[in-house]
Structure 1
Amino acid sequence: MTQSRPIFSCRICGDAPEVASGDSAPIFPYWSFTKTVIAICALKLAEAGKIDLDEPIAGQPFTLRQLLSHTAGLPDYGTLRDYHAAVRNDEEPWSRDDLLSAAMAQGRRFAPGQGWAYSNVGYMLARERVEDVADRSFACLVKDMICEPLGLRSIALATTREDFSRVHWQAAMQYHPGWVYHGCLIGTAADAAWLLHALFTSRLLKAATLAEMLHRYPLGGAIQGRPWIDHGYGLGLMSGRVGVAGRAIGHSGAGPFCVNAVYHFPDLEEPVTVASFSDGQSEGIAEFAAMKLAENG
């Protein structure tokens, strides 16, 4: 697929990153790749015996595993017109309780465990559960569990407009990261790729835990305008087949002004991990770029 937009990418195989465009290190919003990091934190707590993924959350009919796999039956705030209008108008984010009330007024989608529906609300609740059990903020958990052990210096949790002023695209100046209610990490393409590469090279989770994370809910075949031949969702991980590259496992993300795709390709002769970022609103732009870079280097 021919790309007319500038793509900022990083490709990692083995232990050496290969920066694919530009010689600087711009900062990007990770958008929904943050979900992968929330899931990693939850699973690390589970490995330590501090959290039970299958225990019903107090006062709720669903479990943390169901939140992480989008099978809790919760609605999403992405379907709210007023939410999108407020973002377009560059308003200040709603309070957490107002957002939750507006989203839940749409009604539950299905009984927990009886279906699949993508829900940012679910990941907001998952992050809160992880923070409650750990008695630490998500930002601290990311720093201590992931960034410091891996030497990732650029990654941070954006919570203010000032934080987003560091983002590569000028449009970020008219966006408050508080509109991403599960949290929005920011960082370089290289650090996004290194983080996911570490997951698949036994630097973050035990093999049995990674297997749990990879166990997916199948969602069907091709998606129009995107490279997927088949796709599904695990715990914080999108996965499926994307043609010659075989399986792709990671997460895409999109916001009002840019998109990203951070994926590991385990079926290539030498498995690689790629992070691609572009302006625009179609995740397929970044996904096709990531697939091409994985295949061709």
Structure 2
Amino acid sequence: MSHHPAVTVRGVAAVLALALGAASPASADVAPRGRPGDAVRTALNELVGGGEFAGALAAVREPGGRGRDYTAGVGDLATRAKVPVNGWVRIASITKTFTATVVLQLAGEGKVGLDAPVETYLPRLVRGNGHDGRLITVRRLLQHTSGLPDHGRAIAGTFFDNQHRYFEPRELVDLALAQKPLFAPGKGWSYSNTGYVLLGLLVQRVTGRPIGVEITDRIITPLGLDDTYWPDAGEQRIRGAHPRAYKSRTGRPGGEPVDASEMDPSRGWAAGQLVSTPRDVNRFLGALLGGRLLKPAMLAQMKRTVPVPGAPRGWGYGLGLTKIRLSCGGLAWGHSGDVGGYSTRGGVTEGGRAATVTATEKSLTAEGDKQLDSTLDTALCAGRQPAAGQALR
């Protein structure tokens, strides 16, 4: 499901990829055609022109809050409707950054120890088949160095077989623990959605409240992210205006694109359940890296990265956060997520320029991932010369 911001099903580069586009927030004809020098619009048009994506939408936000929105392609293959400006999408694994932020807030409050074993908070849950929660720390779950396999690999059938199935978090953990560890804790790196499901359970054990409520009360509400929400149990439809998302029936390029917009997101849970918009993701990442959500010591911990095998040079993974080295110099921090035909990349530069892009898949390939990376890089690097735009909310 929401699979990766760091490296999982589609590959490291994809996982830590980001992208975007834009056009003035309130304008109906997002980013006027033929606007000279608009590298972001060009990149977004090229993204949908390659045949892998039906449509794309993006938002760029300057440090002062001004920004632009972009759309390209079509929002519905059947009706040929336009992609809605700042539409709602499943942000998949970008949820991990929200979950990690809550865990780090609890650590800053002295309620969770980053180097304490998972066993401390979830007694005897991670045991058997070579797994031992006494050897896996909270930090290792956050940075994907636990050695835990991903539960997605053990779910029988195709995406379409499980599209409307509800999974309990404990069921996801059991699916993962039925597999052997990938490596000894701390001795490797492998993207694991299961690690974040455990973090969600940990938050619930420590706070006595659902992880979705903690994310809402600690992040969504304080930041005024009005278009971001945690879907209710069994809620399969996206609430607001959104582009339709597609997946190939065969799972291969060129296969018939099937509408996958409605699905049960429980397979991702604390690793990938949230729905949001490009503008809201930008606001969240800007607030996070701007120090509004975490104490300085905790933000510093979040940005301590480990190498990711196969990732582009200079990239790394911290505690629910990806470090991206830009072609124009400098760094960006963000995450990516892919689920049910939605591929989203979001990031913010150290200078405070944020960008998020979502492309609706027809069939996602390694080349498509590279295009998303490139689009993100274009959007963030274009910030060297701020573009005019209307102020965002």
**Which whole-Å CA distance do the structure 1 matches of 2:215 and 2:223 have between them?**
11
Q: What whole-Å deviation, never above 9, does each CA across 1:129-170 have from its counterpart, x for those lacking one?
A: 012111111222122211222111111112433443546233
**1:40 positional shift:** 0.3
1:76–1:92 Cα change, 3 Å: same
Partner of 2:390: none
Match of 2:308 among 179, 196, 219: 219
Which runs of 5 or more structure 1 residues have no equivalent in the other structure? none
1:167–1:36 Cα change, 3 Å: farther
User: Which AA in structure 1 matches 2:318?
Assistant: G
Partner of 2:382: 296
User: Which AA in structure 1 matches 2:346?
Assistant: V
Contact 1:75–1:108 under 8 Å retained in 2: yes
Contact 2:88–2:275 under 8 Å retained in 1: yes
**RMSD of aligned residue pairs (Cα, Å):** 2.2
Q: Is 2:273 aligned against 1:175?
A: no
1:96–1:167 Cα change, 3 Å: farther
Q: Is 2:15 aligned against 1:15?
A: no
1:14–1:242 Cα change, 3 Å: closer
Q: Is 2:236 aligned against 1:147?
A: no
Partner of 2:287: 198
Q: Is 2:337 aligned against 1:253?
A: yes
**1:80 positional shift:** 3.2
1:236–1:89 Cα change, 3 Å: closer
Contact 2:102–2:214 under 8 Å retained in 1: yes
User: Which AA in structure 2 matches 1:65?
Assistant: R
Contact 1:36–1:251 under 8 Å retained in 2: yes
1:283–1:41 Cα change, 3 Å: farther
Contact 1:73–1:116 under 8 Å retained in 2: yes
SS of equivalent to 1:254:
strand
Match of 1:276 among 319, 338, 357: 357
Partner of 2:103: 42
SS of equivalent to 2:140:
helix
SS of equivalent to 2:354:
strand
TM-score w.r.t. length of structure 2? 0.68
Partner of 1:130: 203
**Which whole-Å CA distance do the structure 2 matches of 1:255 and 1:130 have between them?**
24
User: Which AA in structure 1 matches 2:308?
Assistant: L
SS of equivalent to 2:307:
strand
**1:117 positional shift:** 1.1
**Which whole-Å CA distance do the structure 2 matches of 1:187 and 1:212 have between them?**
26
SS of equivalent to 2:334:
strand
**Which whole-Å CA distance do the structure 2 matches of 1:240 and 1:295 have between them?**
12
TM-score w.r.t. length of structure 1? 0.88
SS of equivalent to 1:244:
coil
Following superposition, which runs of at least 4 residues in structure 1 exceed 6 angstroms of deviation? none
Contact 2:173–2:198 under 8 Å retained in 1: no
| Identity in percent | 29
Contact 1:161–1:173 under 8 Å retained in 2: no
**Which whole-Å CA distance do the structure 2 matches of 1:284 and 1:127 have between them?**
31
**Which whole-Å CA distance do the structure 1 matches of 2:263 and 2:236 have between them?**
10
Q: Is 2:27 aligned against 1:27?
A: no
**Which whole-Å CA distance do the structure 1 matches of 2:191 and 2:338 have between them?**
14
**Which whole-Å CA distance do the structure 2 matches of 1:27 and 1:36 have between them?**
18
User: Which deviates more from structure 2 when the two are superposed, residues 242-251 or residues 125-134?
Assistant: 242-251
SS of equivalent to 2:323:
strand
Partner of 1:111: 184
Number of equivalent positions? 288
**Which whole-Å CA distance do the structure 1 matches of 2:115 and 2:241 have between them?**
37
1:257–1:145 Cα change, 3 Å: same
**Which whole-Å CA distance do the structure 2 matches of 1:25 and 1:264 have between them?**
18
**Which whole-Å CA distance do the structure 1 matches of 2:171 and 2:155 have between them?**
15
User: Which deviates more from structure 2 when the two are superposed, residues 254-263 or residues 237-246?
Assistant: 237-246
User: Which AA in structure 1 matches 2:300?
Assistant: A
Partner of 2:175: 102
User: Which AA in structure 2 matches 1:104?
Assistant: L
User: Which AA in structure 2 matches 1:204?
Assistant: L
1:149–1:102 Cα change, 3 Å: closer
User: Which deviates more from structure 2 when the two are superposed, residues 170-179 or residues 47-56?
Assistant: 170-179
